[in-house]
Structure 1
């Protein structure tokens, strides 16, 4: 007998909850914010809107379904099952946070604060949760392309928006860069890091670098199997070059980086606490990930 679907509600601690946990009481949190020119009532109202949206989504789950709830900080310890329907209640970034832990489960993004979020990934309102949960079982979803980095010691990192490779503090990084298949085209570089992004990431950090660079490369669409990569602030010297500073990666292509600093990292979607640790001589390959994020609606 097959298991009933399980709705996994993903959320994050609100700013109000963090303030009260840190300062002990509402009054102490209010005093702290007032000393910095902020009003706790605005923070509390946002907290209430978020909690109402979460409660409305929870109430829409069919009685025959199972339920689970997971906070963002617990994602790396939560075991997702094949029959799960994942409902993210919060901001766009929370969808990116959960994406790397999934293996094809449908994801519904619910905007907890309409008007404050871009709504690229949290596309829906909490009032539509019942219909969206039914639709999730139909199998129809947008297949969003992700990016992966695989080190020579089998460390692997997957991200929805982008992967950054460089020094942990964004200082100068030394490495050798090349493209798989381009024999002999390898360049020693010193830069503030390499950014490899997807079409979903083209609404954020990748777009910022692309725009600042004035790149002629077209930005990919979220479902397009194509990545863009940029070297940030490459430094020319007698020992380092600047001829390989941008490009695109199709599904079969990989960007290859060999570490020539004492220590570099690779992290995804801005989460520096969950990073690959790379030491001198190690190599890492970055390209289109075989897995997709299945986003409903």
Structure 2
């Protein structure tokens, strides 16, 4: 049986299927059983059946994908939480079965491997980064193996600390406080430097320019416009960003809620970081300073007093199959 299966395979390259826990699995991890999870959800007046239906559909998709991929090559299934410690082979093909966030959080741990985003529920998820469904895999993977599928290049950001630690971001990188307190730091960009107090800094890639970055600038613009005549401080112009190309070799940064005072300024609140340039931020926080990327707060670098972060365009790029 194993010899027949091996004979059917079209490649000896490894195929990595990245999965995620469903909402129901996360509830079971918290409340121990399905019954207790159901009681908790229904006690709050919510519909438990949607959790169950989503879980059942996702498990069926995982099983269907596994059946298809075993015929094509050596398959390894990896749950999302183990991806940071995964060693990917140079010629591995990686498939993310989940929402857009799973694609983003997988891509930053790859180094040249092609990534396929598969939507497990096209009725539920829009899937900007999920152009394929499970039924496409039998014909899609062989085309990827033969390099007959187009690939979109994705520019990533990198934060590098002066202690040698680094972090990549596919959508964005956040520099600031761990909780709802003010971040204190000095910022240096394009020949300008100032000390600031704020809720932190967002640095966005082209892929992430319509995500967190857009919401930050939209809120700033909406607040500033009606206050221009009465506000006691000079308000900087907050331009709404155009949707940048995914492969644009530049980043964009915005300071969240900068606070003007005797010791902090608000002039350097938005700008672009061109290729081969960098944004430098030096922490003035004795504790609770962090840097994390793509919304994963649990995976962070400490950014406390004495540390300087240099954020720029990463040499490494992502490759998303289209």
Sort the TM-score into its range (normalised by shorter chain).
over 0.9
Aligned equivalent of 1:119: 127
Matched, 1:204 2:243: no
Whose Rg is larger? 2
Matched, 1:233 2:257: yes
- Verify the 8 A CA contact 1:219 1:228 in the aligned structure 2: no
Change (3 A) 1:85 1:51: same
Partners of 1:244 and 1:24 lie apart in 2 by 49
Aligned equivalent of 2:266: 242
Deviation at 1:123, TM superposition (A): 1.9
Partners of 1:192 and 1:113 lie apart in 2 by 36
SS in 1 for 2:248: coil
SS in 2 for 1:112: coil
Deviation at 1:19, TM superposition (A): 2.4
Aligned equivalent of 1:176: 186
For these two proteins, the number of residue pairs brought into alignment is 292
Partners of 1:188 and 1:219 lie apart in 2 by 30
More helix by share: 2
Partners of 2:132 and 2:123 lie apart in 1 by 12
Instruction: In structure 2, list runs of 5 or more residues that go unmatched.
Output: 1-10, 222-237
Partners of 2:294 and 2:180 lie apart in 1 by 15
Deviation at 1:273, TM superposition (A): 1.1
Deviation at 1:145, TM superposition (A): 0.9
TM-score by length of 2: 0.86
Matched, 1:267 2:292: yes
Aligned residue runs from structure 1 range 81-230, under 5 A: 81-139=89-147, 140-179=150-189, 182=191, 185-214=192-221, 215-216=238-239, 217-230=241-254
Deviation at 1:146, TM superposition (A): 0.8
Aligned residue runs from structure 1 range 285-296, under 5 A: 285-296=310-321
Partners of 2:57 and 2:247 lie apart in 1 by 31
User: Does 100-109 or 131-140 show the bigger shift?
Assistant: 131-140
- Verify the 8 A CA contact 1:170 1:193 in the aligned structure 2: no
Offset from partner CA, 1:146-199 (integer Å, 9 cap, x none) = 1110001111000110000001114201111012x52xx210111110000012
- Verify the 8 A CA contact 2:210 2:243 in the aligned structure 1: no
Offset from partner CA, 1:61-115 (integer Å, 9 cap, x none) = 2535111011111112221111211000010001111122110100000011213
Deviation at 1:212, TM superposition (A): 2.0
Partners of 1:64 and 1:44 lie apart in 2 by 31
RMSD (Å), alpha carbons: 1.6
Partners of 1:134 and 1:6 lie apart in 2 by 13
